[in-house]
Structure 1
Amino acid sequence: MKTQGLMSRYSNILVALVVVLCVFSASAQTAQQLFETGNSQYAQNNYEEAIKNYEQVLDAGYESAEVYYNLANANYKLNRIAPSVYNYEKALALKPNDKEIKNNLQFAQNMTVDAITPLPENTFKKWWNQLLNLFTLDGWALVTVVLIVLFTLSFLVYYFGSKTVLKRSFFTIAFVSLGLGLLSLTLAFQARSNEKNKRFAVVFSPEAEIKNAPNMGSEEVFVLHEGTKVRVIEEQGDWQLIRLADGQEGWIPKTYIKLL
């Protein structure tokens, strides 16, 4: 009796797993079909329908640089500035080194009204940021693991090796991989800190008055228009404190922007 009960329990678990896998497979297939339908409609210049299909893919919980990129392209064709910039930014976050995404993002940003000149960076900071942007947080974590494994293997060969030339070569490899691994680990922590502390958003309101305090009766400090990217510093009720690339700060209603 106990054996039959145990077998029945395992059978139920197996059936449940099969059902879950079937549902997941069907859902993934549906998302792929929606994506392909969106591509077909885009090719036929039916951008509104293409947008609906791409958004359904995202609503189903599937996101990729390709979906965001195509969604941005469709909005760009309809001259919708804010959705174009927003979705190109989302695509670039998933593929930070994609030149095509960067170029199209630049085209979309050229449609924005606000001309904001970023604060100048010193040479070291500029190089550091360029190095940091080579990979995402996951990318730097993977590079760190690979380099630490390489260091470990090289050190073992050096330690147990018998030939002098071999020991020297692997000692050099171990030393270099350790140094690069520590640098990669530092960059991974920096990328993690950036993701945690830096929240960015895109202005979706056609025109937004930025205030010096989180209320409508406060003084206007400047005006922004749709498509402008801002950094969110603080939140207070229905307002968010934002900072521009040129250092200007002010409060904006949270309904006027969309977090990236």
Structure 2
Amino acid sequence: MKAVVYILTFLWASLTFAQNETIFEQGNALYNDGKYAEAVDKYQTILDSGMHSSELYFNLGNAYYKLNQIAPSIYYYEKALQLNPQDKDIKNNMAYAKNMTIDAIDVVPEAGISKIVNNITNSMTYDGWAITTVLLFLAFVVLFLIYYFAEYTNRKRMAFTGSFLVLAAGILTLVLAFHSFSLDKKNNPAIVFAQESQVKSEPNLSSQEVFKLHEGTKVQILDTVNNWKKIKLADGKTGWISSEDIKKI
């Protein structure tokens, strides 16, 4: 019975994938014909089916950009970048979209060792560091076995040196994997979707307005109280914004 269920599940997944591939191609054709709203509908159909990819998010961002809808454009570029953080096309197109935002927010620069470590950590995703760590530890086991069973001194020496270096590299990538996980856990970004939103000093309408934000601005969510989100900007400013005005990435 389980075998039948597995087969049916596999067939359903294969059929869904094939259908989504067809819809994706239809969306691309509509985009190339300048029918950007219709292309968005096609791409959204794929998302509604539970499928997603950096290419799908990237194309959605492009379509919304052509429609001059900056907030969803940046939102989907950010989603694409989460899945493919080194893609230059995504970064370039997102830069164009961000140039159309109103809010000019200075980024507080990182400095020293923290900047170097974070740059190295962000060069791969958490999954990438985890897979690299597993492969390095497997390589360590193989080299140690070669060292243990080798008959010649030179081969033992080379295997021992190699296993030591691979083990050190594995420990380093393990540390970077945990650091990447920690950064991901703290990272809770969102995009402002309201054309203009008041940011308050406290989570209520009667509190003082501290500043305004406009569509497309990226924020970090720090806390939630009822229908309010405490946010932080790249320049360090904090405040409370209505949950309806932002969309979590």
TM bracket (short chain): over 0.9
Identity, % of aligned pairs?
45
Residue matched to 2:94 = 105
Largest Rg, 1 or 2: 1
Residue matched to 2:246 = 257
Letter in 1 for 2:161: T
CA positional deviation for 1:15: 4.7
Residue matched to 1:36 = 25
- Residue 23 in 1 paired to residue 9 in 2? no
1:42-121 superposed matches below 5 A: 42-121=31-110
1:210 to 199, 202, 210: 199
1:132-189 deviation digits (Å, cap 9, x = unpaired)? 1111111111000011111111122122212222222222211111111111111111
1:190 to 175, 179, 190: 179
SS in structure 1 of the partner of residue 247 of structure 2: strand
2:166 to 137, 161, 177: 177
CA positional deviation for 1:24: 2.4
In structure 1, C-alpha distance between the alignment counterparts of 2:183 and 2:171, rounded to whole Å: 18
For structure 2, the residue ranges without an aligned partner over 5 or more in a row are none
Moved over 6 A (4+): none
Q: What TM-score do you get using the length of structure 1 for normalisation?
A: 0.92
In structure 1, C-alpha distance between the alignment counterparts of 2:92 and 2:80, rounded to whole Å: 12
- Residue 135 in 1 paired to residue 124 in 2? yes
SS in structure 1 of the partner of residue 52 of structure 2: coil
CA positional deviation for 1:22: 3.1
Alignment length (residue pairs): 249
In structure 1, C-alpha distance between the alignment counterparts of 2:212 and 2:131, rounded to whole Å: 42
For structure 1, the residue ranges without an aligned partner over 5 or more in a row are 1-9
1:69-90 deviation digits (Å, cap 9, x = unpaired)? 0000011111111011100000
1:66-115 deviation digits (Å, cap 9, x = unpaired)? 00000000111111110111000000000011111111111111111111
Letter in 1 for 2:146: V
Residue matched to 1:222 = 211
Q: What TM-score do you get using the length of structure 2 for normalisation?
A: 0.96
In structure 2, C-alpha distance between the alignment counterparts of 1:177 and 1:17, rounded to whole Å: 39
CA positional deviation for 1:14: 5.0
